[in-house]
Amino acid sequence: MTAPTETIEIQNVVASTGIDQELDLETLVDDIPGAEFNPDNFPGLVDRTQDPKAAALIFRSGKIVCTGAASVNDVHEALEIIFEKLRELGIPITDSPEITVQNIVSSADLGYDLNLNALAIGLGLEDVEYEPEQFPGLVYRMEDPEVVILLFGSGKIVITGGKFAEDATAAVENIVEKIDDLGLLG
């Protein structure tokens, strides 16, 4: 059987940065091929990169959020592409603006079915939300690392709220240990 930590896959990395100046999004949308700006629906300009695949949400304030990347490296590469496009338009940007990872969403497979009712009680009701009529997964707020884990009866899990890729590994190791301690491993 494959170890649960070996099944971890990053699904999305969200990071933010800024260029310390106001931007005219109405002009930018005309100057950046493929960019989208519809202020009635969303206040930011959306520019998608293809390699790596990601979307940059560029706001009037100069704040930029990168989402949809598959790794922290991809975030940096995608934002460098965006910075270069802006530099080519004459917008001064420092050589390496600070980029802050806000959230990493990962998935994994524990390799066995879970009894979510027993887990909800065993993990402690103060850290758990489980309302199967509303949502089929159990929401567990882990303290170390500080992440939220969605556990499903199939044994599939989603880890969100991490700031580092290693947070997912630590979370999987911790949740497997907790489930084992409760005697609820497959």
Would you list the domain boundaries of the chain? 13-102, 110-182
Please tell me the predicted confidence (pLDDT) of residue 96.
83
110-182: which CATH architecture?
2-Layer Sandwich (3.30)
CA 148/CA 47 separation, integer angstroms: 29
* Residue 118 token pair: 């027993």
Can you give the pTM of this predicted structure? 0.92
Statement: 13-102 belongs to CATH 2.70.70.10: no
Backbone angles phi, psi at 182, to 5 degrees: -80, -5
What is the helix (H) or strand (E) element at residue 27, kind and residue range? helix 25-31
For every one of its 186 residues, what pLDDT tens digit does the chain have, with 9 covering 90 and above? 689 999 999 999 999 999 989 999 999 999 999 999 999 999 999 999 999 999 999 999 999 999 999 999 999 999 999 999 999 999 999 888 999 999 999 999 999 999 999 999 999 989 999 999 999 999 999 999 999 999 999 999 999 999 999 999 999 999 999 999 999 876
Q: What is the per-residue pLDDT for 79?
A: 97
Q: Is 140 strand, coil or helix?
A: strand
Res 175: pLDDT: 97
Contact 28, 45 (CB under 8 A): yes
Alpha carbon distance 152, 11 (integer Å): 17
For residue 58, give the 3-state DSSP assignment.
strand
Output the pLDDT for position 22.
94
